[in-house]
Structure 1
Amino acid sequence: MNPSGARRTERDQENIRGRHGMPPTKRKSSDERGGGGGGAKRPALQCTSNKQHLYLLLDDWERGYSVRRLDVDAFEPDDAGADDDLPPERFTEPPVARIEAEAAEYASERNFVSHGAKIFAMQPGEASPAIPAFDASTLALSLCPWPFSYRQYGLPSFASAAGKLLAFTDTDAVYLGDQPPCGSKAPWSWAAIEARSPFYASQVTCYALHPDGRTLFVSAASLRSHRSGTFSLDAERLEWRRHGDWLLPFSGQAYFDAELEAWVGLCGEMGSPGHLCSCDVAPIAAEFTRPPSWKIGKEKLFRKNPELHLGAKLVYMGRSKFCLVEFLFQKDDDDHPRSDQPRRRVLDMTTFGLKYSKEGKLQTTLQRSRACKMNKRPQDYGGSLIPLAFWL
């Protein structure tokens, strides 16, 4: 998991830390900041580009995935509540990169994870000992060792917290250390987490990072004798804590939004597909707590035809702005879309803001934009049901 967002001012950061019981940050002196008295001011460092983009990974290549980069500022304006069909366009420009990786059947959304500025492809070929990683800041590809010595287990769960890339299976847990500097002979390696995960990775329903940046909350359904519940991992101390026999109300990844002071994600409650949900941040200190209060947005964001719907992913872009990426069958494909698994896929993307109304209800703002793209897969079977989308 790699929640991303816009940069905040120091005052905003201190307000957030104070509300969630975190100690204030120690301010550096002028000498520590490089602002010693009397000298001329140093020129500001010029960054080549700090603009973030929406990255899509598409299995439209016979040997793996193509990496597409979209500028959401170029999306077309979209009136709130509009549900008209937007003709999908093909990708005309070449991809920014290609990643060689196996296409997992219906679960490949768990084979990719963003960490820092990188996207890791956690589905290497059987003969490959390494994982390809794409760096969005440099557009370069690098190789990372596979985290486990065997693959006879359920698909791992991955998350990013406190500068660590975490990986969990039903039996093991590891984290990835920092990448060695250029020219170093030291290997890029994983380290074991001694505290075993108190849940099965294959039963994770949702997860969210606490605003402290180091505590990962995970909800997992019951499996065999293990009860359902919500747990947290202190990614610095590598210690687990159980918070109760309740589950967070999300499906997949949720994000902390500072302006709403809540976690936000796609609702995982039965009968509410396509609705957003906001949830109070659970306290870290208490081991057993009551479930936090949460609200379901009134508006359904999925497009009308459920027969074409495959899945969706919510991407957080910072400052209460989100992008919903919905995965659809192409409606013009012949025969019944569920019977023959046609190759064409449509990605319907909508950006919007979120706020609470005067009545305290979660609602989208009117400043919307939308784009619709289509790609063709090289095979007729398998494929992800959830879009592989990242904000980097």
Structure 2
Amino acid sequence: MTIGAHAPADMVCGFGITVVVDEMLYALSYHFREKQHSFGVMSWGSTAPDALQQPTEGWSWKTLPPPPPTFHRRVNSYALHPDGCTIFMSTANFMTAPSKGCMGTYSFNTKDSVWRWHGEWALPFSGQAHFDRELNAWVGLHWDGYISACQVASPSCHNTTPTLQLDCQTTKEKLFCKDRKPHMGASLTYMGTSKFCLVQGVEEEQALGGHDGCVLHITIFGLKFNHKGELRITDHRSTRSFIVSSHKDHFMPVAFWM
């Protein structure tokens, strides 16, 4: 295990996302107080401060071009294109009426360090979506607990198609637990070969000896298209639950797969 370099000061304490591309970590952060974005990448390489010192290797950060001015402050959904170098991001400004362009989808090409606007439409997910080669689709989570798979947008599409509609399929079965207790957040992790892991946090009173805490519900499931082209959850689904720390006010469940 390796500990990476601390993020630059302008990227700390903001709302943001992270995406791994070709063994490099791309991070986009938004500071509400300064009302500006910070964008950078952490990679492994030489960390010598100048040519007079012997070069050493380690993790370091590099500043990248920030999003265009029309980029709204919050990224609602994002996905890495199967080309391995294009990150798609959809934004929304909830303080703006839909007629004024509250939605927008952008992409960043990691090879050319170029931003591109793709129009006033959004990826149909909440949080990160993942590309599955067997389904040939992006797969992501809806805010209400359903799973969707949609066609992959072309990196070359641009604002001549401002209201692009991606072909999308959604499961009929909701994967969120049926508990009516307060929902604390959820994330979807791709495990390969159309297999996924859903992690959901639910607030739980008296969870830890009389102290408020939360319960993690972990669901592992598979996806497939049936003969009608409908997205279905496969039968080999498993669900487990775990009680976690009482520090629920600063806890957001996120899983990763190695």
User: TM (normalized to structure 1)?
Assistant: 0.55
Q: Which residue of 2 aligns with 1:366?
A: 235
Offset at residue 315 of structure 1 (A): 1.0
Q: Which residue of 1 aligns with 2:249?
A: 382
Q: Which residue of 2 aligns with 1:211?
A: 82
CA RMSD of aligned residues (A): 2.7
Offset at residue 310 of structure 1 (A): 2.1
Q: Secondary structure at the match of 1:306?
A: coil
Supply the distance in 1 between the matched residues of 2:244 and 2:102 (Cα, whole angstroms).
41
Q: In 1, are the aligned partners of 2:186 and 2:254 still within 8 Å (CA)?
A: no
Supply the distance in 1 between the matched residues of 2:249 and 2:203 (Cα, whole angstroms).
13
2:7 matched to 1:146?
yes
Match of 1:159 among 2, 15, 19: 19
Name the one with the larger strand percent. 2
Q: What count of residue pairs does the alignment treat as equivalent?
A: 237
Q: In 2, are the aligned partners of 1:156 and 1:168 still within 8 Å (CA)?
A: yes
Q: In 2, are the aligned partners of 1:215 and 1:233 still within 8 Å (CA)?
A: yes
Supply the distance in 2 between the matched residues of 1:295 and 1:162 (Cα, whole angstroms).
29
2:203 matched to 1:298?
no
1:309-328 alignment, distance < 5 Å: 309-328=183-202
1:1-392 alignment, distance < 5 Å: 135=1, 141-149=2-10, 151=12, 154-169=14-29, 170-180=36-46, 185=56, 188-194=59-65, 196-198=66-68, 200=71, 202-222=73-93, 227-268=102-143, 273-288=144-159, 289=161, 290-330=164-204, 333=207, 342-377=211-246, 379=247, 382-384=249-251, 386-392=252-258
Supply the distance in 1 between the matched residues of 2:195 and 2:61 (Cα, whole angstroms).
34
AA paired with 2:16? P
Supply the distance in 2 between the matched residues of 1:348 and 1:150 (Cα, whole angstroms).
31
Answer with 1 or 2: which has the greater Rg.
1
Any stretches of 5+ residues in structure 1 without a counterpart? 1-134, 136-140, 335-339
AA paired with 2:168? W
Q: Secondary structure at the match of 2:15?
A: coil
In structure 2, do the counterparts of structure 1 residues 357 and 165 end up closer, same or farther at CA, with 3 Å as the change threshold?
A: same
Supply the distance in 2 between the matched residues of 1:295 and 1:329 (Cα, whole angstroms).
30
Deviations 1:143-177 (A, max 9, x none): 413224575x7333322224331122333322123
Supply the distance in 2 between the matched residues of 1:230 and 1:209 (Cα, whole angstroms).
13
Deviations 1:65-97 (A, max 9, x none): xxxxxxxxxxxxxxxxxxxxxxxxxxxxxxxxx
Supply the distance in 2 between the matched residues of 1:150 and 1:157 (Cα, whole angstroms).
11
